[in-house]
A and B are shown apart, each in its own frame.
Chain A
Amino acid sequence: MAKVTREVVERSGVNVDQLVEMLVKNASAELTTYYYYTILRFNLIGLEGEGIKEIAETARIEDRNHFEALVPRIYELDGKLPRNMNQFHDLSGCPPAYLPDDPTDVKAILNVLVEAERCAVRAYTQICNMTAGKDHRTYDLALAILNEEIEHESWFSEFLGEGPSGHFLRRGETSPFVSKFLR
């Protein structure tokens, strides 16, 4: 725990217990998504699936990075992860990104992926709204993650025919926004 860190956030008007709970729920969402995306990625095969596999892999790795980046902030604010992994899974801030009943249905997999990203975009927007101008470090972290989640959403959305994503896929390293929290 970083005592003064927590104190100054509390004094700024943020309910730190609520904030920590939200960070834990989102850490769970990131780690469980990493797990479920592993299964989704393996099932993205064939002429349709192979074209999406790379962005699914990038999103998968970046979601794991988000988990890694969130955990230190949870402990700084006097929070902790549940001792029980099952409990951690079930408190996730987003629903499990299960493989569709028909694993050959690439569009169904894309829908799972885009819904997972949309849940994340909403969650980090909420954390940014809560912490803006009050808890600078959590805000900076949530904003960095939000930037990556928005890109993930736009990639999958583009493949669903909803419109251009507006940017290219990753060129080079993953997590261009979050990497500063991983050092």
Chain B
Amino acid sequence: MREFTKQELAQYDGRNGAPAFIAYKGKVYDLSSSFLWQKGNHQVLHQAGIDLTAALNTAPHGADLLAKFPVIGIFCE
């Protein structure tokens, strides 16, 4: 499985046609197909291309919502 550094992950922020990838607990998820991640933006507050492990702790939902999206890599901090 592909490994992503912080800099590599940042290229997949969903802007300008780029895919929307995020990292969570060491895994990289592809959220490009999600209506709630259009152009890589999620509910105004979050942009794709970063590690959202800490942010998910304060979100009004759990990590279970990530389960329906493909894991496409491993995040190497």
Contact = CB atoms under 8 A, between A and B. Distances in A.
Interface of A: 18, 21-22, 25, 90, 92-96, 119, 121-123, 125-126, 129
Contacts of B43: 22, 25, 93, 123, 126
Contacts of B45: 18, 22, 126
B1 interface: no
B44 to A, nearest CB: 5
Main secondary structure of the interface of B (DSSP, over half): loop
B44 A22 contact: yes
B36 A95 contact: yes
Interface string B47-65: 0000000000011110000
B44 A25 contact: yes
5 contacts: A92-B35, A96-B35, A121-B60, A126-B43, A126-B60
Contacts, number: 30
A132 to B, nearest CB: 13
A25 B36 CA distance: 11
A21 B60 contact: no
Given A94-B36, A122-B60, 9 more contacts: A18-B45, A25-B43, A93-B43, A95-B36, A122-B61, A123-B43, A125-B60, A126-B43, A126-B45
Contacts of B58: 129
Contacts of B35: 92, 94-96
Contact of A18 (B38, B44, B59, B61): B44
A119 B58 CA distance: 16
Given A95-B35, A95-B36, A129 B60 contact: yes
A95 B45 CA distance: 17
Contacts of B38: 90
A13 B31 CA distance: 31
Nearest to A123: B43
Given A95-B35, A95-B36, A21 B61 contact: no
